[in-house]
Chain A
Amino acid sequence: MTNRMVTIDGNEAAAYVAYKTNEVIAIYPITPSSPMGESSDEWAAKGQKNIWGMTPIVRELQSEGGAAGTVHGSLQTGALTTTFTASQGLLLMIPNMFKIAGEQTSTVFHIAARSVATHALSIFGDHSDVMATRSTGWGMLFSNSIQEVMDFALIAQAATLESRVPFIHAFDGFRTSHEVMKIEELTDEQIRAMIDEEFVRAHRQRALTPDRPVMRGTAQNPDVFFQSRERANSFYAVTPEIVERVMNKFAAVSGRQYRLFDYVGAPDAERVIVMMGSGCEAAEETVNALTAAGEKVGLLKVRLYRPFSVEHFVAALPTSVKSIAVLDRTKEPGAAGEPLYQDVITAIAETWHGRPASNGQAQEARATARITGGRYGLGSKEFTPAMVKSVFDEMLNDNPKNHFSVGIVDDVTHGSLPFDANFTTEAGDQVRALFWGLGADGTVSANKNSIKIIGEETPNFAQGYFVYDSKKSGAMTVSHLRFGPKPIQSTYLIQRANFIAVHQFNFFERYQILDAAQEGATLLINSPYEANEVWAQLPAPVQAAIVAKKIKVYSINAYAVAKQNQLGNRTNTIMQTCFFAISGVIPRDEAIVKIKDSIRKTYGKRGEPVVRQNFAAVDAALEHLHEIEVPSPDRGERGADAVLPATQATTTPHANADMPDFVRDVTMEILSGRGDHLPVSAFPIDGTYPVATAQWEKRNIAQEVPVWEPDLCIECGKCMLVCPHATIRAKVCKHEDLANAPAGFKTMPAKWRELPDHLYTIQVAVEDCTGCQLCVEVCPAKDKSNVSRKALNMAPQLPLRDSERVNWDYFLKLPEIHRNGNLTFKNIKDIQLLQPLFEFSGACSGCGETPYIKLMTQLFGDRAIIANATGCSSIYGGNLPTTPYTINPQGRGPAWSNSLFEDNAEFGLGMRLSFDHQQAYARNLVERFRDTLGDELADGLLNSNQETQEGINAVRDLVSELKEKLDSSLRGGLPPASSGSSPTLNGHDRTVVSAAQDLLGIADSLVKKSVWIIGGDGWAYDIGYGGLDHVLASGQDVNILVLDTEVYSNTGGQASKATSLGAVAKFAAGGKPTIKKDLGMTAMRYGNVYIAQIAMGANDVQTVKAFLEAEAHPGPSLIIAYSQCIAHGIDMAKGMHQQKLAVDSGHWPLYRFNPALESEGKNPFQLDSKDPKIPLQDYIYTEGRYRMLQRSDPEAAKALLTQAQASVNHRWEQYKKLAANPAT
């Protein structure tokens, strides 16, 4: 029987086998492993079966710790059970992993191996997570390619059942988990052939059951623990043989033979690399190229890393080996070497240490081989044949580097190997295609589709890998596609492309796109220009490269074609058709048929209209595709015209004089796509980065931007309040401030009684705006003669760009408003004159979270410290290259940090405790230095009221005075200590100086600090809830802001306990069957916690009150903020309207619970929204997350709606009763 060829990614390959061979699957989202859980959940929702004809139970837990506990329990009661995870998630499973292994329990965890956060978080791949579990006693199998992922998932399952050693099945995050590859799918028969039912029954037989009760998990004393721990040895001793046997059986079943250690290369190799993971593929490709050239090199691929079989390892090494380089994809600072290196050293030493050469023969080479170790590929750093070659080259040196790194330039400790970036082993008979696109234009989707077409419809092998940038809106994508008649092992980005497509014309201005083009390549451009204008519009360096490399150029105005076919900005099908039409991978006509077949397959279930629309796009594409004539340099005099005068200079982001050094030297390099070339010395030693950097990143992603019409504006400030990116701002200035305003800079009289004779201006940062339109949607001011014209209207960005850039720069230089008591800053209009200290984040266009954060920074940002849970807010808040947190003219602004996902409340509490202690110490020292400071200053510092901003400003002034006084005392001689307060009475004592220096260092802590603990619902309701609850109970003065999107937004919309009943989310593919947790009500039981449930779009006044009251509350405060999200399936421009519907329907009641009122004898609970005025369905069916269920399972949707409405009614009645309570 022939196996089906499928074109899938590594996650799907692993999940496929895991699903088929398990009965219970516990899941929790974490990048890059989430898709394994998502697939399992979807398959279960559709009722797909495992090999026993049953649908596995798939359950989401509240954390990876929870998932591991559930797996443990399920295993202990006899079900075949699995889970998927990565990185920190795997670390949270470690305690249970020790237990599972200690109890000799069969299971496989599938791990998309990812970096563990250290100086920074990285979602990308290396082995630091799996290496952190080495001591748990789990078997470890590493897959190197997508085919191996599917195969090893099964081999691991078979091996664990027989060996009773649990297995980690690891493959490289992103490089393997997300790479799409054509592979052979295992059949159910093959899977059944590998799973021995005897072992399955034995597993079940070991289950805990009251029918034959035993106890497992005792506590043991020193007398017996050690011995019983050693009982495990026999299992580990036989496991390598078991795995070997299973691999042989697998070879018989599938035809693919694997060994514990697979050697490839010259049989008489003298230089051998030992490594594991996807890097092996690139290394093997290099070894093949080098051996073909006569070099004696080889590669030993480690498959079974634990239990490590010294015997098998040594046997697999060629006897001729003289030099071994062990490559680890992890870093263990302070260790004698990285783990695999140490294992290899141990294996070689154990085998030959003290053993004499036999029979007078020389000791064989392996025994005396020189062993070096090195690191590569951390955090998915590229690992290329050039790097492999450099490792082999280094081995030729008499004194090769040990503990080296490869792939970077280490100019600090000089441990890196140089490599020749031009060395390449890419095959000659391959199509290598690079596609530069935007996330929004569907480039990646189209390419995934193309790979499927080529992979599944032709004999070609196919590979796809996709690179995304760090932004959620306007993100650039680069697709790397390889096709060819031979299997593809190139686990690295395309270096020499013979086809390049540029789906956004302006990319030519920003990136060195043609660097990767090989001679004679084909270039396809989506151009807004007519075919006869395209050449002239290309930047001169691009023209030069085209001529020099003899590149064939084609162009199409795909946006125009899309528009004609009602496809909006979706150019994916059009560009895909053009690719097939000119790349020659498949004959054109045949390709068109296949594209259409594929469209029907992909879109058929979404309905005929969508299919027809895409068919029309295919047909239209070919009519508008043109070859562009490239002037030839060989045409005599005309050759001089080959490269026309530059029509547009290449505008790669470049430094300007205003930039701080770090921004110029590091940030801008990263922005320009040259981050790989930055040396080690460029980076901070401890992960500390400057703020105020997003301002330098002018992304120009909005097609349209708001334009202000002063004649209509009522100066309400709502537009600025809702702006997710702080790109629309207002200032109030005196006439004289505006004396040199640029022409076209708009103002109007300011409508503040307190600010007579001032001018008001609104300015848009058009280069930072994402074009979300929230501001225009909320603008209440309409033209009486033309109601479609508001005080803000969208207009094309390009014609405005230059003039508005000038206006924006001018606007920034206008003075910021003083908080000097003129205005109260308690209403939106006032507050929106305050500088946002959070600007231009990479959040999604129309994000519902960021307006709340921005508001917080306007109110308290100059004295705020933020503990940020991992999630969307940590990514748009702190993903390099830039950060949106910024500073005011005095240099103050929010300080920000992210610890983990699960511990954010505790992290923030720690900040509070630290500040409190520093303040107490500072107060103590102020008292001790009272004589030096004077009573007036000391009393001012100790007793000033800091409840208002004026009070805080006053204390700031006093702190400055303190610093000046202390500083001058220290400079003018040692300060006298106040009597009785100093440990010595000697005014010149060293301890006094030390105390004075201490006070200088911590004097700023005398100014009230505002601690903000920010995170999403995944954190607050699920993984971090235990800590959150504890911090609420602590009574400490922290402010907790929960940005409730009702799903795990950052990882792609998985259900959390905040997800509403009836909503479709990942991990709740059949609609969430349980109600949303009432977090506010749960917290209310403590009595001393300030709680507000808010929705800016429904009641912005209440939102502002909540922030002010929460911050003023001296204990813990909890603000739960409704935040619209792209995972809701809404038109993001209507985000604020959706908030209103949520409140109007009773889904999201607005309330405040203020303990302060209780002490005044009032009811602390105040409902801020009115009785629901629309039925729940009028809200929820305006959102895709609910409609999706209506479309996929109308009966279930109807039933869940009924329950949901009942739940809304019930909760509302409860709230009303609570609000109606008389004063207590």
Chain B
Amino acid sequence: MSLSTNYLGLVLKNPIVASSSPLSHTVESIQRLEDAGASAVVMYSLFEEQITFNSYYVDHYLRNNTNSYAEALNYFPEMDAYNVWPDEYLNLIRRAKEVVDIPIIGSLNGVSIGGWTNYAGLIEDAGADALELNVYYVPTNVEMTGREIEDMYLDMLRQVKRSVTIPVAMKLSPFFSSISNMSKRLVAEGADGLVLFNRFYQPDFDLENLAVAPRLVLSNSNELRLPLRWVAILYGRVMADFAITTGIHTSEDVLKGLMAGAKATMMASELLQNGVRRIKEVLREIEVWMDEHEYQSVAQMIGSMSQQHCAEPAAFERANYMRTLDSFQPIN
């Protein structure tokens, strides 16, 4: 029985990839993921804002209030170097590559065209096997059209593709008017993979202080539905490797993801909640299931329930919506 799969040209020993999360903050933790059975690790995201912020921060406090007052021309000692570049991140990739055998996928999170694409090159130089590009953009500008936003994503991908030779996967949000068309355009622009979907962390309200407060909520299996549907729809239509990254918690989730058409299923919330040992448990359950259902390899099942392959293609479309509503029985 083979659990092996091929994602972004990388041979993965099984379809469970550790998704971008704090679990990749240290080499030790990455090693634990490998030991637990993860077939690849997507690094935590290197945020464009973080790099910019660190740079501005150091600059601000070295400069602020300087040369204003004769007795105190500055307030901090000036050192030879500051860790404002992503050195720490790149070192981590470098060190991780030395100690683990599984592929390491770098992750860049940004919104602006320009400098940060340099970091893509640096991540490649550090030894990353692939790169996941996470464009987290909240279009608050009411003048900005959907097309402009899409073009922005494409520009960014183009720039990054120009600066690296490793495969690049694009992590998408579900908020496009036409995910299908957007996916097609991204692939045409060179995306090697599409990762569905990015979870926007929605701000919460603090009623006591009448303030907006950030709050992180981990995913659950129910959230699998959205990416599951879209991978199933896009599989075979858009020629890219798919990965599902939201709502993968159980062996069933993994199996569903594969059948929809994903070549990799990515886990984070589950591991954060219940520990990295869950990978092993899920893999075992998958083997049991495959054994019981007489599957030889996961390759067999990839896309097997995609829209193109399933018996009821309409189930993914509008008709299914009505059926779902009808199936709801209110409690009297």
Interface centre among A34, A844, A1052, A1185 (most CB of B within 10 A): A1052
* Contact with A444, one of B60, B67, B80, B82 (Cβ below 8 angstroms): B67
The residue on A at minimum CB distance from B210 is A787
Q: Does A1069 contact B (CB under 8 A)?
A: yes
* Contact with B79, one of A42, A123, A448 (Cβ below 8 angstroms): A42
Binds A, one of B30-38, B68-76, B159-167: B68-76
Enumerate chain B residues within 8 angstroms of A796, measured Cβ to Cβ. Answer: none
Taken together as a complex, chains A and B put the C-alpha atoms of A241 and B218 apart, in Å, by: 82
Interface residues of A in 1063-1078 (CB under 8 A from B): 1064-1066, 1069
B82 near A439 with CB under 8 A, answer no
Taken together as a complex, chains A and B put the C-alpha atoms of A54 and B191 apart, in Å, by: 55
Enumerate chain B residues within 8 angstroms of A35, measured Cβ to Cβ. Answer: 73
Taken together as a complex, chains A and B put the C-alpha atoms of A1049 and B63 apart, in Å, by: 16
Q: Does A586 contact B (CB under 8 A)?
A: no
Enumerate chain A residues within 8 angstroms of B55, measured Cβ to Cβ. Answer: 606-610
Enumerate chain A residues within 8 angstroms of B52, measured Cβ to Cβ. Answer: 607, 609
Q: Does A718 contact B (CB under 8 A)?
A: no
Q: Does B296 contact A (CB under 8 A)?
A: no
Q: Does A746 contact B (CB under 8 A)?
A: no
Q: Does A1188 contact B (CB under 8 A)?
A: yes
Q: Does A883 contact B (CB under 8 A)?
A: no
Taken together as a complex, chains A and B put the C-alpha atoms of A123 and B75 apart, in Å, by: 18
* Contact with A46, one of B57, B80, B211 (Cβ below 8 angstroms): B80
Enumerate chain A residues within 8 angstroms of B66, measured Cβ to Cβ. Answer: 444-445
**A81-125 Cβ-contact flags toward B at 8 Å (1 or 0):** 000000000000000000000000000000000000000000100
Enumerate chain A residues within 8 angstroms of B82, measured Cβ to Cβ. Answer: 605-607, 1188, 1191-1192
Interface centre among B57, B62, B65 (most CB of A within 10 A): B65
The size of the chain A interface, using a CB distance under 8 A, is 60
Enumerate chain A residues within 8 angstroms of B61, measured Cβ to Cβ. Answer: 1129, 1184, 1187-1188
Interface residues of B in 185-217 (CB under 8 A from A): 210-211
Taken together as a complex, chains A and B put the C-alpha atoms of A59 and B13 apart, in Å, by: 57
Q: Does A987 contact B (CB under 8 A)?
A: no
B213 CB, min distance to chain A CBs, angstroms: 13
A123 near B68 with CB under 8 A, answer no
Q: Does B99 contact A (CB under 8 A)?
A: no
**B113-132 Cβ-contact flags toward A at 8 Å (1 or 0):** 01100100000000000000
* Contact with A1191, one of B58, B60, B114, B210 (Cβ below 8 angstroms): B58
B70 near A607 with CB under 8 A, answer no
The residue on B at minimum CB distance from A788 is B210
**Residues A1191 and B72 in contact in the complex (CB < 8 Å), given A606-B55, A1129-B61:** no
Interface residues of B in 132-177 (CB under 8 A from A): none
A1069 near B79 with CB under 8 A, answer yes
Q: Does A749 contact B (CB under 8 A)?
A: no
Taken together as a complex, chains A and B put the C-alpha atoms of A1185 and B61 apart, in Å, by: 9
**A1158-1194 Cβ-contact flags toward B at 8 Å (1 or 0):** 0000000000000000000000000011011011101
Enumerate chain A residues within 8 angstroms of B84, measured Cβ to Cβ. Answer: 605-607, 1191
A605 near B65 with CB under 8 A, answer no
Q: Does B221 contact A (CB under 8 A)?
A: no
Enumerate chain B residues within 8 angstroms of A1052, measured Cβ to Cβ. Answer: 71-75
* Contact with A1053, one of B51, B72, B81 (Cβ below 8 angstroms): B72
Q: Does A31 contact B (CB under 8 A)?
A: yes
Q: Does B54 contact A (CB under 8 A)?
A: yes
Taken together as a complex, chains A and B put the C-alpha atoms of A1053 and B62 apart, in Å, by: 12
**Residues A605 and B80 in contact in the complex (CB < 8 Å), given A445-B63, A445-B67, A1050-B72:** yes
Taken together as a complex, chains A and B put the C-alpha atoms of A38 and B85 apart, in Å, by: 26
Q: Does B300 contact A (CB under 8 A)?
A: no
**Residues A610 and B56 in contact in the complex (CB < 8 Å), given A445-B67, A468-B69, A844-B65:** yes
A197 CB, min distance to chain B CBs, angstroms: 30
The size of the chain B interface, using a CB distance under 8 A, is 40
The residue on B at minimum CB distance from A48 is B80
Enumerate chain B residues within 8 angstroms of A471, measured Cβ to Cβ. Answer: 69
B79 near A46 with CB under 8 A, answer yes
Q: Does B83 contact A (CB under 8 A)?
A: yes
Interface centre among B51, B80, B118 (most CB of A within 10 A): B80
Taken together as a complex, chains A and B put the C-alpha atoms of A608 and B82 apart, in Å, by: 12
B75 near A1129 with CB under 8 A, answer yes
**A661-681 Cβ-contact flags toward B at 8 Å (1 or 0):** 000000000000000000000
Taken together as a complex, chains A and B put the C-alpha atoms of A684 and B74 apart, in Å, by: 34
Q: Does B59 contact A (CB under 8 A)?
A: yes
* Contact with A1050, one of B63, B68, B71 (Cβ below 8 angstroms): B71
The residue on B at minimum CB distance from A444 is B67
Q: Does A174 contact B (CB under 8 A)?
A: yes
Taken together as a complex, chains A and B put the C-alpha atoms of A442 and B81 apart, in Å, by: 22
**Residues A609 and B210 in contact in the complex (CB < 8 Å), given A1069-B79, A1188-B58, A1191-B84:** no
Taken together as a complex, chains A and B put the C-alpha atoms of A227 and B67 apart, in Å, by: 53
Q: Does A612 contact B (CB under 8 A)?
A: yes
A1035 CB, min distance to chain B CBs, angstroms: 36
B325 CB, min distance to chain A CBs, angstroms: 37
B58 CB, min distance to chain A CBs, angstroms: 5
Enumerate chain B residues within 8 angstroms of A46, measured Cβ to Cβ. Answer: 79-80
Q: Does B330 contact A (CB under 8 A)?
A: no
**A261-287 Cβ-contact flags toward B at 8 Å (1 or 0):** 000000000000000000000000000
Q: Does A475 contact B (CB under 8 A)?
A: yes
A174 near B81 with CB under 8 A, answer no
A713 CB, min distance to chain B CBs, angstroms: 16
Interface residues of B in 38-57 (CB under 8 A from A): 51-52, 54-57
Enumerate chain A residues within 8 angstroms of B85, measured Cβ to Cβ. Answer: 607-608
Taken together as a complex, chains A and B put the C-alpha atoms of A323 and B107 apart, in Å, by: 81
**A438-471 Cβ-contact flags toward B at 8 Å (1 or 0):** 1110111100100000000000000000101001
Taken together as a complex, chains A and B put the C-alpha atoms of A1007 and B60 apart, in Å, by: 51
**Residues A42 and B78 in contact in the complex (CB < 8 Å), given A445-B66, A844-B65:** yes
Q: Does B6 contact A (CB under 8 A)?
A: no
Q: Does B64 contact A (CB under 8 A)?
A: yes
Enumerate chain B residues within 8 angstroms of A448, measured Cβ to Cβ. Answer: 67
Enumerate chain B residues within 8 angstroms of A174, measured Cβ to Cβ. Answer: 70
B265 CB, min distance to chain A CBs, angstroms: 34
A608 near B115 with CB under 8 A, answer yes
Taken together as a complex, chains A and B put the C-alpha atoms of A45 and B79 apart, in Å, by: 8
Taken together as a complex, chains A and B put the C-alpha atoms of A558 and B22 apart, in Å, by: 43
Q: Does A875 contact B (CB under 8 A)?
A: yes
Enumerate chain B residues within 8 angstroms of A439, measured Cβ to Cβ. Answer: 65, 67-69
Interface centre among B52, B61, B68, B71 (most CB of A within 10 A): B68
Q: Does A603 contact B (CB under 8 A)?
A: yes
**Residues A38 and B77 in contact in the complex (CB < 8 Å), given A466-B67, A607-B84, A1194-B88:** yes
A19 CB, min distance to chain B CBs, angstroms: 15
B68 near A468 with CB under 8 A, answer yes
Enumerate chain B residues within 8 angstroms of A607, measured Cβ to Cβ. Answer: 51-52, 54-56, 58-59, 82, 84-85
A472 near B69 with CB under 8 A, answer yes
* Contact with A477, one of B56, B68, B77, B78 (Cβ below 8 angstroms): B68
Enumerate chain A residues within 8 angstroms of B69, measured Cβ to Cβ. Answer: 439, 468, 471-472, 475
Taken together as a complex, chains A and B put the C-alpha atoms of A1053 and B211 apart, in Å, by: 34
* Contact with B76, one of A443, A1051, A1188 (Cβ below 8 angstroms): A1188
**Residues A475 and B77 in contact in the complex (CB < 8 Å), given A606-B58, A608-B118, A782-B210:** no
Given A606-B58, A875-B71, output 15 extra A-B contacts at Cβ < 8 Å.
A32-B71, A38-B77, A42-B79, A174-B70, A445-B67, A475-B68, A477-B68, A609-B52, A609-B56, A610-B58, A1049-B72, A1053-B74, A1066-B75, A1126-B64, A1188-B76
Residues of A at the B interface (CB closer than 8 Å) are 31-32, 34-35, 38, 41-42, 45-46, 123, 174, 178, 438-440, 442-445, 448, 466, 468, 471-472, 475, 477, 570, 603, 605-610, 612-613, 782, 787, 844, 875, 1049-1053, 1064-1066, 1069, 1126-1127, 1129, 1184-1185, 1187-1188, 1190-1192, 1194
What are 11 contact pairs spanning A and B, CB under 8 A?
Answer: A41-B77, A468-B69, A605-B84, A606-B59, A607-B55, A608-B115, A608-B118, A609-B51, A1126-B65, A1127-B75, A1184-B61
